[in-house]
Amino acid sequence: MKKVIVACGGAVATSTVAANKIRELAKKEGIPVEVSQCRVNELESKKDQVDLIVTTAKVKKDYGVPVIHGVAFISGVNIAATEEKILDVLKK
Catalytic positions: 8
Nearest to 63 by CA among 48, 74, 76, 77: 48
Phi, psi of 32 (to 5 degrees): -70, 125
For residues 55 and 67, is the Cβ–Cβ distance under 8 A?
A: yes
Measuring CA to CA, how many Å separate 5 from each of 46, 52?
8, 6
